[in-house]
Amino acid sequence: MDPLIEAFGLTKAFPVSRTWRQMLRAERPRLKAVDGIDLTIRRGDSIGLVGESGSGKTTVGRLLLKLTSITSGQLTYRGDHLDRMKGARLRGFRQQAQLVFQNPFDALNPRFNIRRIVAEPLVNLGVPRAEHETRTADSLRLVGLAEPQRYLDRLPHQLSGGQLQRIVLARALVVGPEFLVADEPVSMLDVSVRAGILNLMRDLKERLSLTSFTISHDLTLVRYICSRTLVMYLGRIIEQGPTEEIIARPAHPYTKALIAAVPRPDVDQPRDALPISGAIGSAATPPSGCRLRHRCPYAFARCASEEPPLIEVAPGHTAACHLHIA
């Protein structure tokens, strides 16, 4: 199938504040939050992006939705370059691609009622007023709020966290998008409510044949929604493959750490020690060679001198680690 989205060498750099010494030497340090990633998203794919805080996940999501500009590299949507998209094409894209925010409490204007909040994207896209009421109500039903009239006149603070997250979803879905980016869609919710939202997202993906891109630091959640997963570390994709395969046979030491770190409800499960140590550090000063090497228990000389490329470790499963190259 044709790719919906393709990226080559996608890079986003932010300026960072300079020290006096750097100013004197006219150095302009930059932080590459996303550093040369390649990506193919086909229609109907459900892709997960996992990694620690600061690894660059949100920045990737914002790039995919053209909410921030590309520093270098290429990004296409149905073959059109996103950075050159304008006019009717851009309006079409704004309808087709939607974002589900991380925190429902921040994402919604506290003074607007639910009717106005959910209809807002329709207003922005110039959809005729007459259609708003039905489309808003349909969207609420779609996310499992069976009696829309009960919610439309309420304010955000009059709803529970789970209901609010459904509103955030309804708002993203009201314009009938084909591509959905969800940034930590359930991290602010109670476990009891999370389950409902994860089930809903799974179900919507099927029913609406959505293409989805879900961001989270927790593989446990990504697994419910995504058939393929990308693992990100300091601006780079370091492993990718089918989600279940990555969980069962992680190839990169970092992915192993993400899996070992996940808390589990069972009391006497085997508790693997965390295989990596220390903290992620800043993308402004990434280490030479493999970016994980200071934290990796397996690092050897080559890890400091050469950056490992992504190579295939199993069909459709790639990892960037020298242990798999030898």
Residues that bind Mg ion (CB under 5 A): 58
CB of 206 to ligand ATP, least distance (A): 27
Q: Which residues bind other proteins (CB under 8 A)?
A: 52-54, 160-163, 190-196, 198-199, 202, 217-221, 223-224, 244, 247, 257-269, 271, 274, 276, 279
Of 269 and 301, the one with the shorter C-beta distance to other proteins is 269
Tokens standing for residue 224: 């419910």
Query: Which residue in 101, 48, 99 sits closest to 220, CA to CA?
Result: 48
The sheet with strand 72-77 has its strands ordered as: 30-42, 3-15, 72-77, 80-81
Span 188-227, contacts to ligand ATP by CB under 6 A: 217
Phi, psi (deg, nearest 5) at residue 51: 160, 165
Find which of Mg ion, ligand ATP, other proteins, none residue 17 binds, CB within 5 to 8 Å per kind.
none
Burial class of 42 by CB neighbour count within 10 A (0 to 12, 13 to 18, 19+): middle
* Of 206 and 306, CB closest to ligand SF4: 306
Give the nearest distance from C-beta 41 to other proteins in angstroms: 22
Pick between residue 75 and residue 299 the one whose CB is nearest to ligand SF4: 299
In the complex, the smallest distance separating the C-beta of residue 119 from ligand ATP, rounded to whole angstroms, is: 29
Nearer to ligand ATP, 222 or 283 (CB): 283
Report, in Å, the least distance between residue 185 CB and ligand ATP.
13
Among positions 4, 10, 13, 33, the unique one binding ligand ATP when judged by CB under 6 A = 33
CA-nearest of 21, 19, 36, 67 to 238 is 36
Give the residue with the Cβ less far from ligand ATP, 239 or 323. Answer: 239
Please state, in angstroms and as integers, the Cα–Cα distance from residue 72 to each residue in 47, 184, 208, 232, following that order.
23, 26, 33, 18
DSSP secondary structure of 259-273: HHHS--S-TT---PP
Asked if residue 144 lies in contact with residue 196, where contact means CB atoms within 8 angstroms, the answer is yes
For position 290 contacting ligand SF4 by CB under 6 A, the verdict is yes
Closest CA to 185 of 209, 204, 157: 204
- Binds 322: which of other proteins, ligand SF4, ligand ATP, none (CB < 5-8 Å by kind): ligand SF4
Select from ligand ATP, ligand SF4, Mg ion, none the partner in contact with residue 283, using the beta carbon and a kind-dependent cut-off of 5 to 8 Å: ligand ATP
Q: Is 46 helix (H, G, I), strand (E, B) or coil?
A: strand
Give the binding range for ligand SF4 (CB under 6 A) out of 103-111, 120-128, 167-175, 294-302: 294-302
For position 56 contacting ligand ATP by CB under 6 A, the verdict is yes
CA distances (Å), origin 267, targets 218, 263, 271, 275, 290: 20, 11, 10, 21, 36
Angle 114-124/161-173 helices, nearest 10 degrees? 20
Structure tokens at 235: 């601006």
> Which residues of the shown chain bind ligand SF4 in the complex (CB under 6 A)?
252-253, 290, 292-293, 296, 298-299, 303, 308, 321-323
Q: Which residues bind ligand ATP (CB under 6 A)?
A: 14, 31, 33, 51, 53-59, 217, 283
